[in-house]
Amino acid sequence: MPLTNLPIIIIGAGIGGLSAAIRLASAGQRVIVLEANAAVGGKMSEVRAEGFRWDTGPSVITMRHVFDDTFAGRLADYLTLVPVDPLTRYFYPDGTRFDALANREAMTEVLRQFANADDAAGYLKYLDYAKRIHDITGGVFIYNDPPTLWRVARTPLRDMPAVDPLRTMHGAIQSFVKSPKLRQFLGRFATYVGASPYLAPATLNVIADVELSGGVWYPQGGIYAIARAFQRRAEELGVEIRTRCAVRQIDVRDGAVTGVTLADGSQIAAAAVIANVDVATVYDKLLPRAAVKPRRVAQLTSAEPSCSGFILLLGVEGEHPKLAHHNIFFSSDYRREFDDIFARGVPPDDPTIYVSITSKTDRDHAPEGCENWFVLVNTPAVDARFDWATQAAAYRVHVLERLAAYGYDVRGKIRVEKVLTPVDIAGLTGARRGALYGASSNDKFSALRRPHNRARDVRGLYFAGGTTHPGGGVPMVTLSGKVAAQMLLADLPDRAQRG
Q: Give residue-wise pLDDT tens across range 12-58.
A: 999 999 999 999 999 999 999 999 999 999 999 999 999 999 999 99
CB-count burial class (<10 Å; 0-12, 13-18, 19+) for 51: middle
Reference 485, options 42, 1, 21, 12; nearest CA is: 21
Pairing of strands 461-463, 370-379: unpaired
Nearest Cα to Cα of residue 330 among 348, 295, 312, 354:
354
For residue 63, being part of any structural domain is answered with yes
Containing H/E element for 236? Answer: helix 224-236
Give a yes or no: residue 12 inside a domain: yes
Residue 78 is assigned to a structural domain of this protein:
yes
Q: What is the CATH number of the domain that holds 164?
A: 1.10.405
d(CA 211, CA 101): 10
- How many CB atoms sit inside 10 A of residue 169's CB? 27
> In a 3-state reduction of DSSP, which class is residue 273?
strand
Angle at 132 between CA 75 and CA 73, to 5 degrees: 10
In whole angstroms, give the CA distance from residue 53 to residue 367: 10
Rounded Cα distance between 372 and 399, Å, is 17
Claim to verify: residue 107 and residue 97 sit in the same structural domain: no
Q: Which domain holds residue 493?
A: 8-38+243-303+444-498
Q: Helix or strand or coil: residue 446? A: helix
The answer on 122 and 186 residing in a single domain is yes
Q: Is residue 321 domain-shared with residue 364, that is, in the same domain?
A: yes
Q: CA-based angle 412:372:427, to the nearest 5?
A: 100
Structural domain includes residue 324:
yes
Within a domain: 2: no
Q: Where are the alpha helices (DSSP H) in 93-179?
A: 104-114, 117-137, 149-153, 160-163, 169-173
* Model pLDDT, residue 87: 98
Which of 436, 457, 482 delimits the end of a domain?
Answer: 436
The answer on 431 and 326 residing in a single domain is yes
Whether 266 and 378 share a structural domain? no
Contact of 42 with 231, CB cutoff 8 Å: no
276 and 298 belong to one structural domain = yes
Question: What would the pLDDT profile of 149-179 be if each residue is shown by its tens digit?
Answer: 555 555 665 555 567 888 999 999 999 999 9
β-strand 256-262 against 247-253: which pairing, if any? antiparallel
How far apart (Å, rounded) are the C-alpha atoms in residues 273 and 72? 24
Question: How does strand 308-317 pair with strand 52-55?
Answer: unpaired
Low-confidence ranges of the chain (pLDDT < 70): 1-4, 139-141, 145, 147-162, 447-448, 494-499
Q: How many domains does the chain have?
A: 3
What gap in Å lies between CA 479 and CA 453, rounded to an integer? 11
CA pair distance 499, 494, nearest whole angstrom: 9
Backbone φ, ψ for residue 13 (5° rounding) = -100, 40
Q: What is the number of other CB atoms lying within 10 angstroms of the CB of residue 97?
A: 18
- Domain match, 67 and 92 both: yes
In a domain, 392, yes or no: yes
Backbone φ, ψ for residue 40 (5° rounding): -80, 170
Burial group, residue 416, by CB count within 10 angstroms (0-12, 13-18, 19+): middle
- Per the CB < 8 A criterion, the answer to whether 446 and 190 are in contact is no
Instruction: Give the integer Cα–Cα distance in Å for 497 and 499.
Output: 5
Phi-psi bin for 331: left (phi > 0), alpha (psi -120 to 50), beta? Answer: beta
Nearest-5° Cα angle at 372, 370 to 376: 145
Cα(211)–Cα(61) distance, integer angstroms: 9
CB atoms within 10 A of CB 297: 17
Contact 183, 168 (CB under 8 A): no
CATH number of the domain that residue 478 is part of? 3.50.50.60
Would you call the peptide bond into 86 cis, given omega within 30 degrees of 0 as the criterion? Answer: yes
Domain final residue, candidates 170, 195, 213: 213
Q: What is the pLDDT of residue 1?
A: 45
At 78, which CATH number? 3.90.660.20
Parallel, antiparallel or unpaired: strands 370-379 and 308-317: antiparallel
Q: Is residue 477 part of a domain?
A: yes
- Nearby residues of 236 by Cβ (< 8 Å), 6 or more positions away: none
21 and 87 inside one domain: no
